[in-house]
Amino acid sequence: MANPEEPQEHENKGKLYIVATPIGNLEDLTLRALRILDEVDWIACEDTRQTRKLLNRYQLKKNLISYYQPKERQKIPKIIKLLKEGHDVALVSDAGTPGLSDPGFPLIKEALDEGINIVPIPGASALTAALSASGLSTHRFLFIGFPPPKKEATRKLLSSLKGEEGTLVFYLPLRRLLFFLNLIAEVMGPRQVVIAREMTKMHEEFLRGTPAELFMNLEKRKLKGESTILVQGSKKKDLLSFKTNQSIL
């Protein structure tokens, strides 16, 4: 018997479920996500090793398809074929919601072009988790994702965002953190910045302060992994008085 909460099937094609998975603590998998992962025929995942850890935690054995960004285009035909044959497929990333700075968009677009039903299964997201606990304004925010790897491209990006009044949200490897804080100070001035790291894990930490304050606190610490960086939106009066040649160093 069909579950009335789920959208109806498009003809005899399978459904593509966009399933959010925990960003750290495996207990954050929703009951609905657990049911969907158990029911689908295939799971398309960013890293099969990471997904197997989650599946093993809940004693699930499923058929997996490796679906990661450098090989996305190569894997789409196989997944679309399975869906058109009537198989249900769940798309997951290593952590959080697929498509948000993670693989997913090309597959979703192709599936829509083929008339396949897309079903979101909401849950954990580093973006919303960091925003909710940041203490910065959530009335308006702009999600940027990962900034460019090159310094000048990052400086150009920050310059283009200098007048944005909403909270700015970035994903960033911690090895680039000091470099990024220095550029924020140089381009945007002494705004409030929040660094969210290890969210939902044992060593979860939120660090708050100006770029200069955070730089001084973190300069001698060795931090690894990923982080979510939130930058206070601009205030027009600050823009009028701030000179862009300031820097921490």
Q: How far is CA 10 from the centre of its chain?
A: 29
Tokens of 44: 């398309």
- The CATH T-level fold of domain 127-241 is 3.30.950
What pLDDT band is residue 225 in, cutting at 50, 70 and 90?
A: confident
Q: What are 139-164's pLDDT values in tens digits? A: 999 999 999 999 999 999 999 999 99
Q: What are 204-214's pLDDT values in tens digits? A: 999 999 999 99
Burial of 90 (0-12, 13-18, 19+ CB in 10 A): buried
Please report, for the chain, the start and end positions of each structural domain, with discontinuous segments joined by +.
Answer: 15-124, 127-241
pLDDT on residue 165: 95
Has domain 15-124 been given CATH number 3.40.1010.10?
Answer: yes
% of the chain exceeding 70 in pLDDT: 90
pLDDT on residue 199: 96
pTM of the model: 0.85
Q: What is the DSSP string of the chain?
A: ---TTSPPPSTT--EEEEE-B-SS-GGGS-HHHHHHHHH-SEEEES-HHHHHHHHHHTT---EEEE--GGGHHHHHHHHHHHHHTT--EEEE-SSB-TTSSSS-HHHHHHHHHTTPEEEEE----HHHHHHHHH-S--SSEEEEESPPSSHHHHHHHHHHTTT--SEEEEEEEGGGHHHHHHHHHHHH-S--EEEEESTTSTT-EEEEE-HHHHHHHHTT----SEEEEEEPPP-HHHHHH--TT----
Least confident stretch, 9-13, 100-104, 209-213, 239-243? 239-243
Tokens of 94: 């290593």
Asked whether the beta carbons of 63 and 14 are under 8 A apart, the reply is: no
